[in-house]
């Protein structure tokens, strides 16, 4: 019998509360930007920082308001953004163009709430350009983008770490200047520890999916990491993930799963379109095939040991390690924060084909996968599109592998019938392999 | 003198026609040759190590081979560059170098390294994605130092500060000459056409600067003595991404309406050379970093921290003041992300200045008839178009 997560509603409420606060607050500092940014530096400005992050907001809007999402994307295109541009970017910018915003509690607010500052990051060729455009459209919001020069083992390269740390340090000075607020290192350090703790806890939760049956499926994974994306700097966020870790450990101990019928275990590389397209998920579910591991849900806001002796390891990091981190100075806190964020698997693969390949190899082995499902996202500039073409070439002779195009939130770009047929074929391939090896 | 100028221009054009053969001939002469995939590669350091950099550009051959290596929604330029690795056209290269630049060209580089046999003879230079970040210079200096050390091992000799200083001077000489060349196009009666200037500039990305500079110098001096021809057409400025298809520039000047190409803001034209590296500095690598930061930024790296400003727009506005275009043609690769995102923000600025603009997307081959129709329609919208006699 399928297990029902007790902490599910708490996660949903946390996420919705963050968005409500951003939309409706009459006081406090509104901050917009990519949630792939380091968030703790914002918290040194006070306890009234209200954030909205581009990717999770766009994803949840698409899930909550499919029609609105389409209108937003079309509005952005009419305003000049390219058909092939990032659909998260277009949905987000489309809301600004239409001057209305919808959030996960199913409310739509007329009048886009302007941020006080934009704090973001830059990695792919359009990442910070997203917010340059939003800033321009909102009349010139001050913005600071950090060049997170990721790619294969970046967190262990002192040159890259120093570069990112120096930018964060400059960024904190800029935040003080532009907001006129006094900066609290005490609040900052507290937020850093929380941020790192959440990332490590999420890694531990994901790693429990190595068990059979895997306690969580892709649908839960995609829904449970957004709180870590939206705001992972609060005591509340740490408490949520600690509670979830306990619960998932209990599931493993008692052999329970949210989707217990797992004849086939799938490793998935792609953004979570199977959740957005229930037709796809249904084919897998009906065949007893579950996505038990994916680089997107695991590694967008989660940390693992990463490259160890030249090869990737999805082993989790001991949460106790976070408590022992020396964060006694601003610089030390910045350095630990930069290292943990540079270590995100999604970033490691953006500019490093060897890291991406190593990650896939390790995930297939560690999660005892029966198949590899690759779904490059047509409008994503990062490894969520291109790296997968290379992966398909490498893995198709080793494990049942299929690849079809998807898109993060633009349903127009999904060849649903074609993808469905390929998925059915994928299930047959996995079954044939099982029979051969039986 | 006129004939001499034409001869030199034709020589440059012939190299552009087949850069691959030219690079091969350098190699045959016993020179070390490195392919480069982005203009952020500090060619001075290669030159100082005795290696001639040759930029890998498109072959413009329709092909489908790369579709199973690079996603179809990557630009045709990256596909084309990857294709040349997969077909082993450049196997003779001693080295392949790129800097971490746009994602698309990064994948073209990956294809060469991963599937075309360049794993053991390639170098990826870590390079900032936000060129205006304050700590960028220190980071670049460290990357350059790693590059220098790599090259020292590769050529089995030290690459000294004196070597680098000499290279800086050679490259600055090229840059100054090219600026003078483009300066002709400011005139009402330039002694050279825009397409010829673009062709001469493109050749600089393939040629050994020791061979290129004297020829360019001769050309510039010769042109300075020439009276020039009254241009009189609609003055068009081009702004966009890599464009090595000279046919588009030739087309601009062979329409049913008279038009003149007067400026090209792209990495195959002015963005390649419109800067200098400070000479005589104690720290050569720091000087190179300073020089490259002062370039017209590539749209994929242009975001001033704190304001989000696109610094390239300042340059464009300056060029507009200096070169006085009647219209701007945005020319970029289909599926390029950063270029069209800049266009969205740039167009309102041009509108305020009263300068009309239009967009063209480049692909592997040039759709001449469609482009001709669109260009002529564009010219018709610009005041003062004079029908061609």
As a whole number, mean pLDDT of residues B182-211 equals 97
A84 vs B327 pLDDT, higher one: B327
User: How far apart are the CA of B344 and the nearest CA of chain A, in angstroms?
Assistant: 6
User: How far apart are the CA of B215 and the nearest CA of chain A, in angstroms?
Assistant: 37
pLDDT digits (tens, 9 = 90+) for A217-261: 998 999 998 777 899 999 999 999 999 999 999 999 999 999 999
pLDDT for position A209: 98
Model-level pTM? 0.95
- Non-local (6+) Cβ contacts of A421 within 8 A are none
Q: What is the gyration radius of the CA atoms in chain A, in angstroms?
A: 21
Q: How far apart are CA A386 and CA B102, in angstroms?
A: 13
Under an 8 A CB cutoff, do B139 and A162 touch?
Answer: yes
- The number of residues making up chain B comes to 389
Half-sphere exposure of A98 (CA within 13 A, CB side): 23
User: How far apart are the CA of A108 and the nearest CA of chain B, in angstroms?
Assistant: 27
Rounded to the nearest integer, the mean pLDDT of chain B is 94
CB A154 within 8 A of CB A160: yes
Strand extents, DSSP E, A158-283: 264-270
pLDDT digits (tens, 9 = 90+) for B123-151: 999 999 999 999 999 999 999 999 999 99
DSSP string, A344-364: -HHHHHHS-HHHHHHHHHHHH
Residue B387: pLDDT over 60: no
pLDDT for position A414: 86
Q: How far apart are CA B153 and CA B306, in angstroms?
A: 40
pLDDT digits (tens, 9 = 90+) for A252-303: 999 999 999 999 999 999 887 776 778 888 899 999 999 999 999 999 899 9
Rounded to the nearest integer, the mean pLDDT of chain A is 93
- Taking CB atoms and an 8 Å cutoff, what residues of chain A touch B306? 142-144, 174, 178
Interchain contact B150–A (C-beta under 8 A): no
pLDDT digits (tens, 9 = 90+) for A175-209: 999 999 999 999 999 999 999 999 999 999 999 99
Under an 8 A CB cutoff, do A129 and B135 touch?
Answer: no
pLDDT for position A352: 83
pLDDT for position A179: 98
To test the contact with chain B by mutation, choose from A77, A82, A383 the residue with the greatest count of B C-beta atoms within 10 A, namely: A82
Q: How confident is the model at residue B385 (pLDDT cuts 50, 70, 90)?
A: low
As a whole number, mean pLDDT of residues B290-312 equals 96
Torsion sign over Cα A55, A57, A59, A65: negative
CB B344 within 8 A of CB B256: no
Under an 8 A CB cutoff, do A118 and B142 touch?
Answer: no
Number of H-type helices and E-type strands within chain B: 15, 8
To test the contact with chain B by mutation, choose from A41, A140, A163 the residue with the greatest count of B C-beta atoms within 10 A, namely: A163
Under an 8 A CB cutoff, do B303 and A129 touch?
Answer: yes
pLDDT for position A386: 61
User: How far apart are the CA of B333 and the nearest CA of chain A, in angstroms?
Assistant: 12
Residue B281: pLDDT over 60: yes
Interchain contact B143–A (C-beta under 8 A): yes
Instruction: Choose the closest CB to A132 out of B113, B310, B340.
Output: B310
User: How far apart are the CA of B120 and the nearest CA of chain A, in angstroms?
Assistant: 14
Under an 8 A CB cutoff, do A376 and B100 touch?
Answer: no
A78 vs A383 pLDDT, higher one: A78
pLDDT for position B389: 53
Strand extents, DSSP E, B106-209: 122-125
pLDDT digits (tens, 9 = 90+) for A20-55: 999 999 999 999 999 889 999 999 999 999 999 999
To test the contact with chain A by mutation, choose from B309, B344, B363 the residue with the greatest count of A C-beta atoms within 10 A, namely: B344
As a whole number, mean pLDDT of residues B97-125 equals 93
Sheet holding A371-375, edge to edge: A289-294, A264-270, A371-375, A401-403
CB A109 within 8 A of CB A85: no
Interchain contact B104–A (C-beta under 8 A): yes
Residue B3: pLDDT over 60: no
User: How far apart are the CA of B143 and the nearest CA of chain A, in angstroms?
Assistant: 8
Under an 8 A CB cutoff, do A353 and B300 touch?
Answer: no
Under an 8 A CB cutoff, do A170 and B106 touch?
Answer: no
- Taking CB atoms and an 8 Å cutoff, what residues of chain A touch B71? 376, 378, 385-386, 388-389
Interchain contact B183–A (C-beta under 8 A): no
Q: How far apart are the first and last CA of chain B?
A: 28
pLDDT for position A384: 61
Residue A401: pLDDT over 50: yes
Interchain contact B291–A (C-beta under 8 A): no
pLDDT digits (tens, 9 = 90+) for A214-227: 999 998 999 998 77
């Amino acid at each position: 019998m399928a297990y029902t997560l007790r902490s599910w509603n708490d996660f949903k409420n946390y996420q919705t509360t963050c968005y409500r606060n951003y939309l409706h607050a009459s006081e406090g500092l509104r901050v917009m930007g990519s949630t792939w940014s380091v968030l703790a530096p914002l918290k040194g400005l006070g306890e009234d920082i209200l954030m909205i992050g581009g990717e999770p907001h766009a994803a949840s809007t698409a899930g909550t308001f499919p029609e609105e999402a389409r209108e937003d994307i079309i509005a952005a295109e009419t305003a000049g953004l390219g058909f092939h541009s990032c659909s998260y970017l277009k949905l987000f910018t489309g809301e600004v163009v239409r001057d209305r915003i919808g959030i996960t509690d199913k409310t739509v607010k007329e009048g886009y709430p302007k941020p006080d500052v934009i704090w973001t990051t830059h990695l792919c060729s359009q990442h910070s350009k997203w917010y340059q455009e939003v800033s321009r459209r909102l009349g010139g919001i001050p913005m600071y983008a950090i060049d997170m020069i990721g790619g294969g083992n970046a967190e262990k390269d002192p040159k890259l770490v120093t570069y990112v740390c120096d930018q964060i340090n400059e960024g904190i000075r800029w935040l003080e200047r532009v907001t006129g607020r006094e900066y609290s290192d005490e609040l900052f350090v507290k937020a850093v520890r929380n941020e790192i703790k959440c990332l490590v806890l999420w890694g531990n939760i994901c790693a429990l999916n190595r068990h059979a049956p895997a306690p969580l499926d892709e649908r839960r994974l995609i829904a449970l990491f957004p709180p870590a994306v939206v705001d992972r700097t609060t005591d509340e966020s740490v408490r949520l993930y600690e509670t979830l870790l306990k619960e998932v450990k209990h599931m493993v101990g008692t052999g329970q799963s949210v989707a217990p019928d797992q004849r086939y275990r799938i490793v998935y590389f792609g953004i979570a379109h199977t959740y957005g397209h229930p037709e796809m998920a249904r084919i897998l579910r009906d065949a007893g095939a579950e996505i038990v591991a994916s680089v997107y849900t695991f590694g967008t806001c989660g940390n693992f040991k990463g490259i160890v002796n030249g090869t990737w390891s999805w082993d989790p990091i001991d949460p106790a390690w976070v408590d022992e981190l020396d964060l006694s100075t601003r610089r030390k806190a910045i350095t630990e924060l930069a290292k943990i964020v540079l270590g995100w698997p999604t970033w490691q693969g953006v500019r490093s084909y060897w890291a991406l390949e190593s990650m896939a190899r390790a995930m297939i082995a560690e999660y005892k996968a029966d198949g590899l499902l690759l779904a490059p996202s047509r409008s994503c500039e990062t490894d969520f599109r291109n790296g997968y073409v290379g992966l398909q070439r490498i893995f198709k002779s080793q494990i049942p592998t299929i690849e079809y195009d998807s898109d993060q939130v633009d349903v127009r770009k999904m060849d649903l019938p074609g993808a469905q047929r390929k998925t059915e074929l994928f299930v047959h391939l996995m079954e044939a392999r099982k029979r051969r090896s039986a | 003198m006129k004939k001499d100028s034409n001869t030199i221009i034709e020589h440059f054009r012939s190299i552009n026609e087949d850069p691959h053969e030219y690079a091969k001939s350098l190699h045959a002469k016993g020179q070390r040759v490195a392919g480069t995939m982005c203009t952020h590669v500090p060619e001075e350091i290669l030159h100082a190590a005795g290696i001639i950099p040759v930029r890998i550009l498109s072959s413009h051959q329709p092909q489908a081979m790369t579709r199973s290596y690079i996603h179809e929604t990557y630009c045709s330029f990256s596909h084309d560059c990857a294709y040349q690795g997969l077909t082993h056209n450049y196997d003779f290269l001693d080295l392949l170098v790129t800097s971490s630049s746009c994602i698309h060209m990064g994948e073209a580089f990956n294809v060469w390294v991963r599937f075309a046999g360049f794993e053991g003879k390639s170098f990826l230079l870590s390079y900032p994605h936000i060129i205006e970040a304050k700590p960028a210079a220190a980071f670049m200096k460290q990357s350059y130092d790693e590059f220098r050390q790599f090259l020292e091992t590769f050529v089995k000799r030290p690459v000294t500060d004196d070597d680098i200083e000499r290279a800086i001077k050679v490259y600055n000489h090229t840059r100054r000459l090219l600026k003078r060349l483009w300066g002709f196009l400011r005139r009402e009666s330039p002694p050279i056409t825009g397409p010829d200037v673009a062709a001469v500039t493109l050749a600089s990305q393939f040629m050994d600067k020791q061979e290129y500079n004297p020829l360019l110098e001769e050309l510039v001096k010769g042109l300075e003595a020439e009276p020039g021809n009254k241009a009189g057409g609609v003055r068009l400025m081009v702004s966009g991404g890599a464009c090595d298809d000279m046919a588009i520039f030739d087309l601009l000047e062979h329409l049913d309406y008279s038009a003149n190409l007067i400026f090209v803001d792209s990495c195959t034209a002015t963005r390649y050379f419109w800067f200098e590296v400070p000479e005589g500095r104690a720290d050569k690598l720091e000087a190179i970093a300073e020089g490259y930061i002062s370039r017209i930024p590539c749209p994929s790296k242009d975001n001033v921290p704190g304001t989000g400003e696109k610094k390239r727009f300042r340059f464009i506005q300056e060029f507009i003041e200096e070169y006085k275009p009647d219209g701007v043609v945005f020319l970029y690769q289909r599926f390029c992300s950063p270029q069209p995102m800049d266009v969205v923000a740039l167009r309102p600025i041009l509108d305020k200045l009263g300068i009309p603009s239009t967009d063209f997307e480049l692909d592997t081959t040039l759709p001449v008839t469609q482009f001709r129709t669109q260009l002529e329609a564009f010219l018709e919208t610009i005041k003062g178009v004079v029908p061609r006699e």
